[in-house]
Structure formats: structure tokens, C-alpha cells
Structure 1
Amino acid sequence: MFLLGLAVTLLYLGSAVHIASRLFHHEGPRHKLSAALGSIAVILHFWLLTGDIFSQPGQNMSILNVASLIAWMITLSMTIASFSLPNAILLPVVYGFASLTVLLNLFVPDTHLMHIEMRPGLIAHITLALFAYGCLMIGMLYALQLAFINFRLKRKQLSLLHSSLPPLMIVEQILFKLLLVGTVLLTLSLISGFVFLNDMFAQHQVHKTVLSSLAWLVFVVLLAGHYRFGWRGRPVVITTVIGAILLTLAYFGSRFVKEVLLGM
């Protein structure tokens, strides 16, 4: 498993470096090579995850395993999207983050066993939460890309890098579709939590419930503002990032303190 993790890390890094090194090339990134490296890394990463999570009775849902799982979901989505949409500027970031989660898991192994197979309601809640978070994180990446394209257009900096960027309107359309789907999934995740879990406001869960609800409110207001009042541009980017930060603190904040800082 160590060699497999090392291979995944190197494949991700190789693809990220290859794409980044050709962003300013007049021909742009060579998609076939980077897509091949990225696709192999995604497949091997999934194999690695199954071993890390299901290596013993129950499921090892440690903070690094969850981070690696979310990174894999985002990487899989972005790799598939790269075949139909120019997103070369985002792929090095996505692949770099995925390689970091895999590498940390190799050298800082941790165990947080759960038995979610005995609680179907918990399976539904966790699945919805993971997909909601992954979708909204991808939305944040597109929001940052939207801000970058706007920045270059306003300053008329039409360098060779501009040819590797997708059209502004397409990025904006994808952003709001991702935010809409992610918000719906987050809504269902919160509802499933209140329905199937009895401790949403227990001392060890209350921060997660409050922060997730605040993030949900931010995304709902953002979508309402866009579809009702035509919000776009910088306010949309800032609000998306704020919502993503709140959701990240909800999902990982206390677990980071307990599992990493306190070692509990």
C-alpha cells in the first residue's frame, strides 16, 4: 500500500507539473498525456482508498482518509470535465491537493473506526454530506477561475495563458449549476441529519450543525440573489469562498483539533 500511495502521488504530481509547465506554451497543455497520467492516478487512488478505509472491520473514517476521499471525488470530476472543457489552470491545483492528501496519509496514518453499515440513515447522511462538500468545493474552484478571468479581461492582459482559459460565460454557467446542485445536496444532508441522527445539537456536534447551517444560508442567499437580482462577478466569488470556508470548518474544524492537535 505504501508503494501504491507513492505511485499515486508521483502520477498526480507528474500530471500537475506537465500541465503547469505548458500553460504558457503557444500550443497549450498536451491534454492526452496529462489526461492519461491523471486518469491512471485517479484509478489507483480509488484502489488505495478502498484499502485505507476498509482494511479492517468497520470503516476507517479518519480525517486524512475523508480528506483523501473528497480529493478523489473532486479529482475524478475535474478529470472527466477536462475532456469537454478547458480547465487546465485548475487541474494542477486539484492534482497537487490530491497528491498532498495521499502523501500525508502515507506518513501520518491515523485510525477513526466507524460502523456505518449498521446505520442506513448514517450512510445516507454521510454520502449526501460528502457529495455536497465535493460539489461546492468544485464550485469554489470555478469561482476563483471566474475571478481570474475577470481580472485579466479588465486589464486586457491577453497573454498566451488566456488561450488555456475557458470562455467567461461558460465558467459562470457551470459555477451556478454547481452551487445549485451542491446547495440542494447540502439541504438534503442537513435534513437527513436531523431525521436520522439524535445528537445534531450535542456538545460534540453543535459546532458542525451551526456552521453547516450558516454555510447553507450563505449559498441560499447567493443563489437567490443571482436568480432574483442578477448578482454576478466579485460579490459572487467572495460569497462562494465564505460559504466554502464555513463548510470546511464545519466538516474538518473540530476533527482536526481532536485527531491531529489533541491526538484523541
Structure 2
Amino acid sequence: MLIEIVCIVFYLCAAGWVGSRLFHHQGPNPTLMAIPAFLALTAHLYLLWEGILQTPGQNMSMLNVASLLAWLITFTMTLASFTFATAILMPVVFSFSAIIVLLSVLIPDIHIMQIELHPGLLIHISLALLAYGCLLIAVLYALQLSYISGRLKDKRPPFLHSSLPPLMTVETIFFKLLLTGTILLTLSLASGFVFLDNMLAKEQAHKTILSILAWLVFVVTTLGHQRWGWRGKRVISATLIGALLLTIAYFGSRFVREVLLN
């Protein structure tokens, strides 16, 4: 329990530091933010190691998977903060990870798998996690894009003194993440049909169908931007819809089975 408390406290410290400096003309100092952030990430990684690795098998419960995704996203965004202006996103990212760690304590669950016995399953799960993490980061950038665009249109004075990045920079990163995530999702679905026998079985059909629908949304959005120059609200809305479909596919039935029914 002590490690969980330490992890949550350091995440909240990082979030509080960034939030307090968000509209300062110099912005948050990435180095000072990184100190509590990496301490929290280290504690979080220990919790993942302890919580997922079971004997025998791995505990891939819904909250453990969500916690792993939260760690991947937080780690990636923290590293990115040294190169790109991600300050406006970091309080949300740190707070989300803190909430996931807290929920893992309050709602413990076990869902044992034998991943080492199924290398094809390991490939599929790895690609699925990377795709979902990348697309969730793209969603964060889409929200940042929408916020900056709205502030520019309103021409409110605080915007001129904030540490928010240029609109075109955020848009460029967003579309790169969207393309990367779409490619990873394509590979994830392909690996599922190649390595798994139950992609269309009764208990998995809804997940597969929703994942394919999300994939179609992301593919159409990506092609629309590259071929017809789609951008703005249309692309942001489509990205949010695709992410929602993918979230329901990944966690919907597991939430009902592992949380509500228990």
C-alpha cells in the first residue's frame, strides 16, 4: 500500500506543478516536472511488475491493462515534454495515471493468462496496446488542437502570454500520431486474424466488430487528411469517435464482467 501512496502522491505533485505554471510566460520547467514524474513512473512500474506477473501466468485484468496503458502514455508524454510543448496535456495525463493506480487498489481483480505459451497472442496484445496507446495520445493532441484553435479565434489576452505551442506544430504531431496509430491498429487486427482462432467467436465477435469499425474511422480520417486536406473539427470529432469505439471494444465487456458483475 505504501508504494501505491507514493506513486499517487508523486503523480499529483507533477500534475500540480505543471498546472500552477501552465499560463506563466516562461511555462513549466520540464526538468523540475520530470523529478516527481519519473519517481511516480518508477513506483508505477514496480506495481505493474508485481501486479501483472503471477505464478503461473500473468494477471491481465482490465485495471492492470489500463494501468499498463496509463504508464506507457505517461512515460511517452513525459519524454516528449523535453522536445515538444506538451504542458497543457500533462496535468490530465498525470492525474489519469494517479486515478488508475488508486482504482487498482480499490478494485483488485485477477484474470490469469499464459502469454508465454502463445507467442502469437503476445504479438497481438503488444500491437494492440501500442496502437491504443498511440491513438489515445493522438486524442490528447486533438483536444489540445481544439483548445488552441478556440483560444486563437477568441483572441483572449491570456493566450498571448501562455506557454501553449503553435497551432501548426500541434497539428503536425497529431496527424503523425494518427497515422502511426492507424498502422499499428491495422497490424494488430491482422495479427489477430492470423494467430488467433476465436476473433469471430461469440465471446469475441463484438470486440472484433467494434475494433474494425474504429479502424475504418481512423483509416477514412487519415486518407481524408492526406488526399483531401481534411482538418479541424471534422478530423477531431472522427478521432474521438474512433477512440470511443476502440475503448468500448477493448474494455466494454471486461468492465461489465470484471467490475459490475463482481
- What's 2:254 paired with? 255
1:102 corresponds to 2:118: no
1:131 corresponds to 2:130: yes
- What's 2:187 paired with? 188
1:10 corresponds to 2:27: no
- What's 2:241 paired with? 242
- What's 1:151 paired with? 150
- What's 1:42 paired with? 41
Which amino acid counterpart does residue 221 of structure 1 have in structure 2?
Answer: V
Residues in 1 aligned to 2:218 and 2:41: alpha-carbon distance in whole angstroms: 29
Alignment of 1:21-60 (within 5 A): 21-60=20-59
Query: Runs in 1 of length 4+ with deviation above 6 angstroms?
Result: none
TM-score (norm 2): 0.97
In 2, are the aligned partners of 1:26 and 1:160 still within 8 Å (CA)?
A: no
- What's 2:85 paired with? 86
- Local SS of the residue matching 2:162: helix
- What's 2:119 paired with? 120
Consecutive unaligned residues of structure 1, counting only runs of 5 or more, are: none
Residues in 2 aligned to 1:171 and 1:71: alpha-carbon distance in whole angstroms: 21
In 1, are the aligned partners of 2:214 and 2:245 still within 8 Å (CA)?
A: yes
In 2, are the aligned partners of 1:87 and 1:164 still within 8 Å (CA)?
A: no
Instruction: Give how far 1:32 is off.
Output: 2.0
Cα deviation code 1:12-57 (max 9, x no counterpart):
0110011112213333223222111112211221121011101432
In 1, are the aligned partners of 2:151 and 2:159 still within 8 Å (CA)?
A: no
Instruction: Out of 252-261 and 16-25, give the one that drifted further.
Output: 16-25
Which amino acid counterpart does residue 112 of structure 1 have in structure 2?
Answer: H
CA RMSD between the two structures = 1.1
**Percent identity, aligned pairs only?**
59
Distance 1:75 1:161, change over 3 A: farther
Residues in 2 aligned to 1:231 and 1:24: alpha-carbon distance in whole angstroms: 30
Residues in 1 aligned to 2:159 and 2:226: alpha-carbon distance in whole angstroms: 34
Alignment of 1:168-187 (within 5 A): 168-187=167-186
In 2, are the aligned partners of 1:24 and 1:161 still within 8 Å (CA)?
A: no
Instruction: Give how far 1:146 is off.
Output: 0.2
Aligned pair count reads 262
In 2, are the aligned partners of 1:128 and 1:188 still within 8 Å (CA)?
A: yes
Instruction: Give how far 1:8 is off.
Output: 0.7
In 2, are the aligned partners of 1:139 and 1:175 still within 8 Å (CA)?
A: yes
In 1, are the aligned partners of 2:215 and 2:242 still within 8 Å (CA)?
A: yes
Which amino acid counterpart does residue 28 of structure 1 have in structure 2?
Answer: G
Residues in 2 aligned to 1:160 and 1:177: alpha-carbon distance in whole angstroms: 25
Which amino acid counterpart does residue 65 of structure 2 have in structure 1?
Answer: V
- Local SS of the residue matching 1:159: helix
Instruction: Out of 249-258 and 36-45, give the one that drifted further.
Output: 36-45
Which amino acid counterpart does residue 246 of structure 2 have in structure 1?
Answer: L
In 1, are the aligned partners of 2:74 and 2:94 still within 8 Å (CA)?
A: yes
In 2, are the aligned partners of 1:180 and 1:223 still within 8 Å (CA)?
A: yes
Instruction: Give how far 1:161 is off.
Output: 7.3
In 2, are the aligned partners of 1:60 and 1:113 still within 8 Å (CA)?
A: yes
Instruction: Give how far 1:162 is off.
Output: 5.3
Instruction: Out of 134-143 and 43-52, give the one that drifted further.
Output: 43-52
- What's 1:233 paired with? 232
Instruction: Out of 16-25 and 211-220, give the one that drifted further.
Output: 16-25
Distance 1:236 1:13, change over 3 A: same
In 2, are the aligned partners of 1:129 and 1:186 still within 8 Å (CA)?
A: yes
Residues in 2 aligned to 1:154 and 1:27: alpha-carbon distance in whole angstroms: 23
- Local SS of the residue matching 2:253: helix
